Amino acid sequence: MENDDRTSQQAPAPEEPARPEPAKADLPPILTVDELAGFLRLNRKTVYEALSRGEIPGVRRIGGTFRISRDSVLGWMNRQVAGGGRRRHVP
């Protein structure tokens, strides 16, 4: 039996497609802490700490819960990327 080189070579594995960034339409206009944490890929505790330090814009506290403006967060993130720095949000 002859060894056929064509059958012994394996095709390269296809690359996984790049995971697209969540679009504005993928997020509700008003985010909960859990939704924001998922979007930012952070722990809830980290998000709560950032909220208490005033580091995230567009935040309103309603009763005992936080609600965060999607557009404010997306704009803030774009400015962070463009400016390359950390700035504390002062409400």
Residue 88: the pLDDT is 58
Dihedral of CA 50/54/60/62: which sign?
Answer: positive
Residue 70: the pLDDT is 96
| pLDDT per position as a tens digit, 31-41 | 999 999 999 99
| pLDDT per position as a tens digit, 34-82 | 999 999 999 999 999 999 999 999 999 999 999 999 999 999 999 988 8
3-class secondary structure, 61: strand
pTM for the model stands at 0.64
CATH T-level topology, domain 24-83: Molybdopterin biosynthesis moea protein, domain 2 (3.90.105)
3-class secondary structure, 86: coil
Domain boundaries in the chain?
Answer: 24-83
